[in-house]
Structure 1
Amino acid sequence: MKMKYYLSSFVLLTMICSCSNISKDGERIEAAYFPIKEFTEVTAENLEGKSLIKEVNINGEKQKVNTTPNSEEWLKELDFFVKADINNPSLAQSYHTERSEMALIHNLKDGEKGKVKRIVVKYLEGNVKEVSFRSKTENPFYSSETRGVMIFHSESGKLDQYSIENLQEVVFSKPNKMIISASIVD
């Protein structure tokens, strides 16, 4: 079990470190922002064999689900986080980044266009403790706002729980609100 943990940690670190490009001069260019897509994919792989207890609340109607997803199903569960990736050449200069020992924050700059408005990565003793995002899409007829957070166990570094909140408003319709709260069980 420990070997699997160390191996998955090594793979995760390798993926994060390798998220860079090589310039024409042969210099490494790091990914501009936190690689949330790759991070989430590795997290999903590490959840293979784990059970999921999930509560889905859609406009006040609650449903509780207990299941043991495979890695493909885990990716579907965490798809909102995969879609929050901002490492795209067209967004390379669109976000203001703040770094500290405790957090990495990417905020969409004023006047820039992008669905993802903010990504926050919190660290504890150098390890990822929490990853959250906020995205918003608007046009004259429709608006959608999504917030998501993944919380990692402080000792094992594995995903412990996550939640996603989505509000959709369409002209001439009632707003739809969905809240997913989930816990991972060994």
Structure 2
Amino acid sequence: MKKLLFGLLLITVGCQNSPKQASSKPQTYFDLKGYVESQIAMLKKTNPVVRKEVSVNEESETLVTPKIDWTKELELFLQADINKPAYTQSYFIDTLSANTVSYRLRQGEHLPIQFLEVIRDEQNRPSKIKATMLEKNYLFESEKILTLESTDGRLSSYQIEGFQQLFIGDPKPFRITTLVQ
């Protein structure tokens, strides 16, 4: 399990940029960072039991524990926030329905977050958030699809899946599926 978690840590956190943003700036897009930070605070207080399945290549392991560092655990969702001053003109906003809004990267832009979709429940709370992150350079290519689901305003599950491929070698697929009880 330690090898899987270490390998996954390298896959998910490696080579990520996280520019800082002043919190007093108006939000152009959905405030993913604010939402995830509020969920982290709630999860730290309630300390729920978590069932986490980690798969790297063909190996998988399952862990059931209440001991989770929520800030580290949800770091990729924080990195998927598109409310950065430099990004204000970088995304198309599509209102797909009264409860669904998506943000698509404009052609010609080269940012890691390609797509973000937010589905809200009847009380206007996010019930499902999905983001696609893509990084590509001369050394490696990485794609991550992040999905976060909430029930009654509380995080209930999340999934991170994708692959990383070094310039030599085959793609290494991975998947993390977590249920919050």
Smaller-chain TM-score bracket: 0.7 to 0.9
Runs (5+) with no aligned partner, structure 2 = 1-22
Q: 2:32 aligns with which of 26, 36, 41?
A: 36
- State the identity %: 27
State TM-score, norm by structure 2: 0.81
RMSD of equivalent CA atoms: 1.4
Deviation above 3 Å: which 4+ runs of structure 1? none
Q: 1:128 aligns with which of 126, 129, 142?
A: 126
State TM-score, norm by structure 1: 0.79
Amino acid aligned to 2:119: K
Matched ranges for 1:127-166 at <5 A: 127-153=125-151, 156-166=152-162
Runs (5+) with no aligned partner, structure 1 = 1-18, 22-29
Query: CA shift at 1:68, angstroms?
Result: 1.0
Q: 1:171 aligns with which of 167, 172, 177?
A: 167
Matched ranges for 1:1-186 at <5 A: 21=25, 30-48=26-44, 49-69=47-67, 73-99=69-95, 100-125=97-122, 126-153=124-151, 156-185=152-181
Larger Rg: 1
> Secondary structure of 1:149's partner?
strand
Deviations 1:56-109 (A, max 9, x none): 001110111111135xx0111111100111111111100011124111111000
Once residues 136 and 129 of structure 1 are traced to their aligned partners in structure 2, the CA distance between those partners, rounded to angstroms, is 24
- How many residue pairs are counted as aligned between the two chains? 155
